[in-house]
Amino acid sequence: MLKNLVLVESPAKAKTINKYLGKDYIVEPTIGHVKNLPKTKLGVDLDNDFLPQFVTIRGKGDVIKKIKSLAGKSKSIYIATDPDREGEAIAQDIADILNADSKIHRVLFNEITKSGVLKAMQNPSIIDTNLVASQRARRVMDRIIGYKISPFLWKAVIEMSGSTALSAGRVQSVALKLICDREFEIEKFITTEYWSIWAIFKTDKGDTFKAKLFSINGKDIRVQPKPIMEEKEWEDFLQESINIPNEEKAFEVFNRVSGKDNFYISNIVKRTSKRNPPAPFITSALQAEASKRIRMRPKQTMAIAQKLYEGVELGTEGLQGLISYMRTDSTRISDEKITEVRDFIKDNFGNEYLPAVPNNYEKKNKSNVQDAHEAIRPTSLKYSPDFVKKYLDKNSFRLYELIWKRFIASQMNPALLETTVVEIGADEFIFKAFGSAVKFRGFTQIYEEIFEVKENAEEKEEYRNDTIPLGLEKDQHLGLEDLKRAQHFTKPPARFSESTLIKELESKGIGRPSTYSMIVGTIQDRKYVDQVERKLFPTKLGREVNKILVTNFPDIINEDFTASMEAELDQIAQGDNQYKKVLDDFYRPFSNALKNVENKIDKIICDLCGHEMEIKVGRFGRYLACSNYPECKNIKSFKDIYAQNQEPEYTGEMCDKCGSRTVYRNGKFGRFIGCEKYPECDFIKNISLGVDCPKCKTGYVVERKSKRGRLFYGCSRYPDCDFVSWYKPVPQSCPNADSDYMEHRYSVKKGIYMRCPICHAEMIQEEAEELKEIDAD
């Protein structure tokens, strides 16, 4: 009897789905993409409507052969690759290979549960050609940018790169620009000194509370807006407000206030405010929140979420998908799940926590929202964090608990806060005291929000009261218990963290949910950006790359152009635009920009014969060779050129030991941070790869070099922890859940792939490096 063939992407997903479908179905994984653009050439026919020339990915021949064999013996073929652009493109590639349209069906699993799988199988559809065209256009656009700009970029910074890994990308380059622009703001920022005066007042009952001097003679005390102001600007500023710029002025005001003894309450205002619950997670919000709350890198977040989506063994419950599909930018929740979560809230928290009608987070303007999927949510409230904890590793549990609590909180009532503002007057002086109390916890009963630290937050906390004494009345006299003056300095904008960078990209409409983790990872892998203490710093190489790209391609490498192209790609997916038109709109300005700059790069001249040096590719990578070969056999290593031109690369941070600047250095054990005054100061700091040590779970993995110069990876806590690996650990969970990390490997036959260090399960990743700079864009 003929069986039905179901094709999915991963072995873990295949195992879970096979359990639900039974013996009449064969479930086979494709292990990702089966076709890709060629690595050795552009692979796009620019003169023939941008026709892509896809080839079979190295190492996928056996996979395709097996799929063809199974398809020939199958009654029906169900292609169940992931329900997004990439999954749709894989589905189209498979359909083209099998060439059996009459028995091919497309099914979309929003969640890998028995009910979700059976429902999808009962409602098959066809491949969405609009979604495929959108993915193809994105792929081609990013290939053209990467293929055309990267060689130009490589020549431009050849003397400082020391590497062949330079690349440009439609979104990765804009992400780098945002980081560099922020660094420029920080560097040009001029710190301004200012002072505050605050008091401790005492009631006749002995209660005390803090208050800050808010105004003098009706003028609010404010920080000078700019370090250097035009005379007219300064006059306008002084007419409306007053500044305490230095200790002398602060001492003068302090003495005037300390001489007062007629303080009284001039006004009391109590306000009740709502704090609304956050929406259920979309992909970008999940990555940002996981980074902020549980210190999980975006790439690791997506790898763990993928595992939770595909299925986890839950003892007697068997394999169960725990969350809905994790690549989405929609906050929509199905009516069925809304009913389920409202019943849960009523039963576990009470009616007072349940809104009269469900909370709705859908955007009015949904032009940039891909609404094919729900928000990220648990598949069943039966599987509470307490229920699944013993079946999950530490990181998987923390992420699942975060998703669970956020989903429950999103359908609860707001928290109610009572804020009290007390004004205390004495002649020309007005002090203000602030205090707040929670009247009703609402959604915070299960989910406490953590906010980014804002500018001057420390100063504000100085005079904020946890509570204001009860019984205060207007015109009540107060005693001055203590008076203090405090010095402050304005602070530059904060550097981006991975979390805040993702939020910035999302707010500007740059990139898509499935690409953020790859974008953030790519700019670090290319050594354009370093992460130090969770902050992103542009390297010297990154600055130079950004300068060249922005200077020579200002109309391409900018936020507005990238966002507009993203919008046009979305229009293709929605059937509102055409593949060729969108690529024409992109390629015309890009081609003109490329022609204008291609002759600007200085030629590299042979120091022996005066002919131009050319880039050649050998078995050990790229190098420079004289174009006058064989008459002149001069060759040069790029590492030698790099070493000759290298200058100190400052991190922008200060030495913890002596206060001098810190720089990036390369030592016999790899790249690290050290003090510029070495050897006078021996301060050093390791640069983390963003992967927790798999052995001790306390340190983190760093690059090192052996005595023979071979690169390896070890724990930052060495010699207390002796973890080492010759292969780069990456935050990708094993598909069989045997390890929290995989090893990055390469072979001639397989290309780039990842391998589990425990069970040796493999994931073919030849396309991974290219997708970092192209598909991630």
Tokens of 610: 């005066």
Whether residue 674 contacts residue 665, with contact meaning beta carbons closer than 8 Å, is answered with: yes
- What are the strands, taking DSSP E only, across 249-384? 264-275, 312-313, 319-320
- What are the strands, taking DSSP E only, across 558-679? 613-618, 621-626, 635-636, 649-654, 661-667, 670-675
Total Cβ atoms within 10 A of residue 499: 24
Cα separation, 487 vs 768, whole angstroms:
51
Bridging pattern class, strands 193-202 and 208-216:
antiparallel
Crossing angle (nearest 10°) for helices 559-573 and 129-156:
150
**Residue 84 Ramachandran class (φ > 0 left, ψ -120 to 50 alpha, else beta):** beta
Bridging pattern class, strands 429-440 and 464-465:
parallel
H or E, element range at 30 = none
Render 346-400 in DSSP notation, one character per residue: HHHT-GGGS-SS------S--TT--TTS--B-BS-TTS-HHHHGGGS-HHHHHHH
Alpha-carbon distances of 285 from 60, 515, 752, rounded to whole Å: 34, 13, 30
Closest listed residue to residue 423, CA positions, set 372, 457, 494, 473:
473
Residue 325 a catalytic site member: yes
Q: What is the amino acid identity at position 1?
A: M
What angle (nearest 5°) sits at the alpha carbon of residue 468, between those of residues 466 and 471? Answer: 155
Cα separation, 201 vs 217, whole angstroms:
21
Tokens of 233: 């600007």
Environment class of residue 149 by beta-carbon count within 10 Å: exposed (0-12), middle (13-18) or buried (19+)?
buried
Whether residue 196 contacts residue 246, with contact meaning beta carbons closer than 8 Å, is answered with: no
Look at the chain and count its residues: 777
**List 309, 325, 400, 753, catalytic entry:** 325
Render 66-114 in DSSP notation, one character per residue: HHHHHHHTEEEEEE---SSHHHHHHHHHHHHHH--GGGEEE---SB-SH
Bridging pattern class, strands 74-79 and 3-8:
parallel
Q: What is the amino acid identity at position 717?
A: R
Q: Label each residue of 665-703 as H, E or C.
A: EEECCEEEEEECCCCCCCCEEECEEEEECCCCCCCEEEE
Cα separation, 360 vs 333, whole angstroms:
9
Cα separation, 550 vs 166, whole angstroms:
16
Cα separation, 11 vs 554, whole angstroms:
44
Reduced to 3 states, what is the DSSP secondary structure of residue 146?
A: helix
Closest listed residue to residue 654, CA positions, set 624, 675, 638:
675
Q: Could you give the residue numbers annotated as active site?
A: 325
